[in-house]
């Protein structure tokens, strides 16, 4: 069944509102990071990937370039590639170039503009390759994918897995295994634990792009839900939580204030925060344990020379 575009927008708005209401009613306040990515949020994320402090994107791109031949050799020929949360086509193009006779490409991406642009760029780079961009939520995968023939190759780069708490991440990997079907493999990018100063700088850059990305959640609520967040009344905070092995992003209320949307009012104390994102960091043992909880086994594990970022091949 195809849902008409306008109805899809209404549905998306309703789900966004539901999550914001639940998140702002909780104690402590916390919202899911997937709502960062409307058109403005995706553009800000693209800017983040080019920041000197944000090492993950360039490190993973280089690692992918270095290891693409080995990945291709390990996964074999004629795979349908299914990417989760593509953002841009850059990493998929790099992987597809190395693969032996890829059979097709599909991305599941929550931002419809990014889903369309990724599919268009992959189609341009590989004329004749069957390509599909699906605007959808990869946390709501149902059963096995209809497109393409198994065995498929999942691609989940960028350390987006780190934006999920361990239980959710394990469930997501299990859902991907079902979605990809029998004989699947998964190429998983995961950022590694390192010194706190490097991590905190990557999430609190000197130009303030990450701050704008974080605040875009409130700007989006104003645009889409008619909320009245005063963006100057909230600050950006990124902090390394060593015990949980995660960077936390928060929006900090600069003063006591009340924010309204619809018929609802949400009170903030001065200094109270909304926990808007966690970015868990890993080591090999943590990735192996997480993969096992999702029903996968780590077959290969690669890092760059500085051990800043990792790519694993799960089977
Ligand atoms: N893979 C890219 C982009 C990472 S940013 C890279 O490695 O640079 C995370 C991407 O995942 C964004 O494009 C965002 O829109 C998408 N995304 C986040 N949560 C999602 C969800 N629940 N379902 C589908 N896409 C999601
Ligand atoms: C998409 N995700 C893996 C990014 C990260 O590093 O956690 C999102 C991001 N948040 C702030 N900067 C980048």
Neighbours of 230 (CB within 10 A): 13
In the chain (315 residues long), the average pLDDT of successive 10-residue segments reads 65 95 98 98 98 98 97 96 98 98 98 98 98 96 92 98 98 98 98 98 98 98 97 98 98 98 94 99 98 98 98 98
What is d(CA 289, CA 295) in angstroms, rounded to the nearest whole number? 10
Q: Whose CA is nearest to atom 8 of ligand 1?
A: 158
Q: Which atom of ligand 2 sits closest to the CA of residue 202?
A: 12
Decide whether any atom of ligand 1 lies within 6 Å of the 170 Cβ: no
Interval between CA 109 and ligand 1 midpoint (Å): 6
Using the structure block, give the residue that is written with the tokens 């609190």: 204
Decide whether any atom of ligand 1 lies within 6 Å of the 111 Cβ: yes
Decide whether any atom of ligand 1 lies within 6 Å of the 118 Cβ: no
Best probe residue, ligand 1, of 33, 43, 157, 160 (max atoms within 8 Å of C-beta): 160
pLDDT at 4: 65
Interval between CA 100 and ligand 2 midpoint (Å): 31
Question: What token pair was written down for 300?
Answer: 């290969």
What is d(CA 41, CA 38) in angstroms, rounded to the nearest whole number? 5
pLDDT at 1: 47
Query: Residue 12: helix, strand or coil by DSSP?
Result: helix
Nearest ligand (C-alpha, residue 39) = 1
Interval between CA 26 and ligand 2 midpoint (Å): 23
Interval between CA 239 and ligand 2 midpoint (Å): 13
Interval between CA 176 and ligand 1 midpoint (Å): 15
Decide whether any atom of ligand 1 lies within 6 Å of the 121 Cβ: no
pLDDT at 2: 58
Decide whether any atom of ligand 1 lies within 6 Å of the 137 Cβ: yes
Question: What token pair was written down for 67?
Answer: 């290891």
Residues whose CB falls within 8 Å of the CB of residue 141, separated by 6 or more in sequence, listed in order? 108, 175, 176, 178, 179
Q: Is the pTM of this model over 0.85?
A: yes
pLDDT at 3: 59
pLDDT at 10: 82
Locate the DSSP E strands across the chain.
29-30, 80-84, 104-109, 131-135, 152-156, 185-191, 234-241, 246-253, 257-261, 264-268, 273-280, 298-303, 309-314
Nearest ligand (C-alpha, residue 87) = 1
Q: Among candidates 242, 249, 271, 280, which has minimal Cα distance to 35?
A: 249
Q: What residues flank ligand 2, with Cβ below 6 Å?
A: 48, 56, 158-160, 162-163, 203, 210, 213, 277, 279
- Cα separation values, 307 from 84, 243, 266, Å: 24, 20, 43
Neighbours of 25 (CB within 10 A): 10
Interval between CA 263 and ligand 1 midpoint (Å): 31
């Amino acid at each position: 069944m195809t849902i008409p575009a306008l109805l899809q927008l209404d549905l998306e708005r309703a789900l966004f509102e539901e999550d914001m209401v639940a998140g702002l009613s909780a104690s402590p306040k916390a919202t899911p990071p997937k709502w960062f990515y409307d058109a403005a949020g995706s553009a800000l994320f693209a800017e983040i990937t080019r920041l000197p402090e944000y090492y993950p994107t360039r490190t993973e791109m280089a690692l992918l370039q270095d290891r693409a031949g080995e990945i291709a050799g390990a996964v074999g020929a004629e795979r349908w590639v299914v990417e989760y949360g593509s953002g841009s086509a850059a990493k998929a193009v790099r992987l597809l170039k190395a693969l032996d006779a890829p059979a097709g490409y599909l991305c599941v991406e929550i931002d419809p503009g990014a889903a369309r642009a990724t599919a268009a760029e992959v189609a341009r780079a590989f004329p004749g390759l069957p390509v599909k961009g699906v605007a959808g939520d990869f946390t709501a995968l149902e059963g096995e994918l209809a497109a393409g023939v198994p065995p498929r190759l999942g691609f989940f780069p960028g350390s987006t897995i780190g934006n999920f708490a361990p239980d959710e991440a394990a469930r997501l990997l299990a859902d991907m295994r079902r979605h990809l079907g029998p004989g699947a493999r998964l190429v998983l990018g995961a950022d590694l634990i390192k010194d706190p100063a490097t991590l905190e700088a990557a999430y609190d850059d000197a130009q303030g792009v990450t701050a704008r990305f974080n605040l875009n959640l409130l700007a989006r609520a104003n645009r889409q839900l008619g909320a009245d967040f005063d963006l100057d009344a909230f600050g950006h905070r990124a902090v390394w939580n060593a015990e949980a092995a995660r960077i936390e992003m928060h929006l900090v209320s600069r003063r006591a204030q009340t924010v309204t949307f619809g018929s609802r009012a949400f009170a903030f104390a001065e200094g109270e925060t909304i926990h808007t994102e966690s970015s868990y960091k890993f080591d090999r043992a943590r990735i192996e344990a997480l993969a096992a909880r999702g029903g996968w086994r780590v077959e290969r594990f690669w890092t760059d020379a500085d051990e800043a970022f990792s790519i694993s091949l799960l089977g």
